[in-house]
Amino acid sequence: MGMEAKQAILDGRTALGIEFGSTRIKAVLTDEKNRPIASGSHDWENRYENNIWTYSLEDIHTGLQDCYQSLAKNVKDTYGIELTTTGVIGISAMMHGYMPFDKNGKLLTAFRTWRNNITGQASEELSRLFAFHIPQRWSIAHLYQAILNGEEHVADIDYMCTLEGYIHWKLTGEKVQGIGDAAGMFPIDSHTKTYDAEMVRQFDELVAPKGYSWKMLDIFPKVLVAGEPAGVLTEEGAKLLDVTGKLKAGIPLCPPEGDAGTGMAATNSVARRTGNVSAGTSVFAMIVLEKALSKPYEEIDMVTTPAGDPVAMVHCNNCTSDLNAWVGLFREFAQAFGVEADMSQLFGTLYNKAMEGDKDCGGLLSYCYYSGEHITGFTEGRPLFVRSANSKFNLANFMRTHLYTSLGALKMGMDILVEKEGVQVDKILGHGGLFKTKGVGQSIMAAAVNTPVTVMETAGEGGAWGIALLASYMKNKEAGETLDQFLENKVFAGEEGTTLAPDPADVAGFERFMERYREGLAIEHAAVAHLEEV
């Protein structure tokens, strides 16, 4: 593969994907078979300044440049050649947030990231106006909250976008956004593949009395779907990306996409009736729908695939943090006996022990709420373990309880889709830390969602690979070839992964656990009310 990859780089038969995650910026270079052949990264952290979670423009620019240099060095070290061009480029980042610019391209406020929960009033009023759930992190909520706050900068807005929209604009001069990311700015109409026209009209009418010189569509990016051209790397863009000046201008770029869309691409979960679940510190499920939901639900966010199909997103703040803390406690116990336990072996042993437990966890109950959980109505959380004197208290049930509860809030959101909306899901792809121990998290997830769950080796490649795939699709697709066909036939063909069907006894046991989980929420409320944070 080495000589093949080297030739692909020299010929420019490659795709470069760069994704800005919350703690790491990652670059992946792929060959024409969509295999990663080089990578680079840059670690960074958000700052909390003036009550705002933010990254500075300097952080963004230097992070982009350092990540690219890391990739170029990897190419040089591995193949002995300089990176001077690629076939196509794609940019991705964390969705949502707020970056408003004036007509001179000056950022008018600090970049307000998705982490900020400062738009409660706007979120509530817009959700009511549109009869559509507008989460606090969405760009339109940030804009309207700035209006409600009477912030002077709003009158001067000439353009506003998300982080990847900003980087794409700086590289190409194009004010565009991929539809999946645009769906985290403002509601999308999956038929017209752009912002919902009636809701745009309602918003313009709502803010008209303020007398701004702009209307919403004047300041929002143009929406593009996967496969559409989104501009080319300009001379200025090439200098911004590669400070050494070796990278040539003229490389085409695909529409910039959010991390949700790149996650869907990287897990082959863009076809209808499929979904993916990412389970780590937090957990979210994204289910591609056959049609829009009948009504809005506060627990469910509506976004789209990079191709524009409607997606229901169930996002929960808490998943494995409490589980990891208990494993850490068992490590301390082992160390007290003079045994230095390898963490992956410890996780594997304890997770597998959980599989020996009672299907309903023997009457044990826990909540993994390190922080609030909107699906169950908590603004704060307290990790909690509780049992009755008659519960079957043993190690297997204890571990199984913590695995079950890490998916408890997610199951409540998924139940809305299945029971109230009749959503049908044929398969779910699982990725993230919960699935590292072979077969365990996978079977627990299958029981929670009563759907076959697949885990693939490539799922670990992540969003930078996902945006490289979207870039490759734009450049290499055949006439009439849809994104899901491209992924199925050109990327994941032969990549079966491991699939586990739900065990009916596990499904029934999880349901009995969930009855206890719902009843016990009053205990969690009492813990929040009466146990102070220290």
Task: Please give the pLDDT value at position 121.
Answer: 97
Q: Do both 347 and 459 map to the same domain?
A: no
Structure tokens at 367: 């909540």
- 280 and 418 both lie in a single domain: yes
Assigned domain for 525 exists: yes
Whether residues 332 and 377 fall in one domain: yes
345 and 490 housed in the same domain: no
Query: pLDDT tens, 163-174?
Result: 999 999 999 999
Residue 286 sits in a domain whose CATH number is 3.30.420.40
The helix, strand and coil proportions of the chain, stated in percent and rounded to the nearest 5, come to 45, 20, 40
Dihedral (CA of 128, 132, 136, 138) sign: negative
Residues 523 and 392 in one domain: yes
Q: Is residue 289 part of a domain?
A: yes
Mean pLDDT of each 10-residue bin along the chain, 534 residues long:
90 97 93 95 92 94 98 97 97 95 97 90 97 94 98 98 98 98 96 97 98 98 98 98 98 96 92 92 92 91 95 93 96 95 93 98 97 89 96 98 98 95 94 88 96 80 90 97 95 86 97 98 97 82
In a domain, 57, yes or no: no
Is the residue at 206 inside a domain? no
What's the one-letter identity of residue 117?
Answer: N
SS3 472: helix
Is residue 454 one of the residues assigned to a domain?
Answer: yes
CA dihedral 65, 70, 72, 78 (to 10 degrees): 180
- What is the predicted pLDDT for the residue at 379? 85
In this predicted structure, what is the pLDDT of residue 459? 54
> Which tokens hold the place of 197?
């026209």
Would you state the pLDDT for residue 212? Answer: 98
Distance CA 354, CA 443 (A): 11
Number of structural domains found in the chain: 2
Q: Check: CB of residue 292 under 8 Å from CB of residue 279.
A: no
User: What's the pLDDT at 302?
Assistant: 93
Global pTM value = 0.89
Q: Are residues 372 and 308 in the same domain?
A: no
Q: Which amino acid is at 270?
A: V
Residue 349: inside a domain, yes or no?
A: yes
Q: Are residues 353 and 488 in the same domain?
A: no
Give me the sheet containing 88-93, strands edge to edge: 36-43, 24-30, 15-20, 88-93, 257-258
- Same domain for 365 and 509, yes or no, is yes
283-288, strands of its sheet edge to edge: 301-304, 310-316, 283-288, 274-279, 427-431, 453-455, 498-500
Q: Do 334 and 475 have their domain in common?
A: no
pLDDT at 282: 86
Domain range enclosing 426: 268-318+410-500
**486 and 418 housed in the same domain:** yes
Query: Left if phi > 0, otherwise alpha if psi is -120 to 50, otherwise beta: which for 462?
Result: left
Q: Does residue 367 form part of some domain?
A: yes
Do residue 303 and residue 430 come from a single domain?
yes
Q: Say which residues have a Cβ less than 8 Å from residue 528's Cβ, sequence separation at least 6.
A: 378, 380, 381, 382
In a domain, 106, yes or no: no
* 461 in the same domain as 335: no
pLDDT at 117: 82
| Nearest residue to 469 (alpha-carbon basis) of 257, 273, 190 | 257
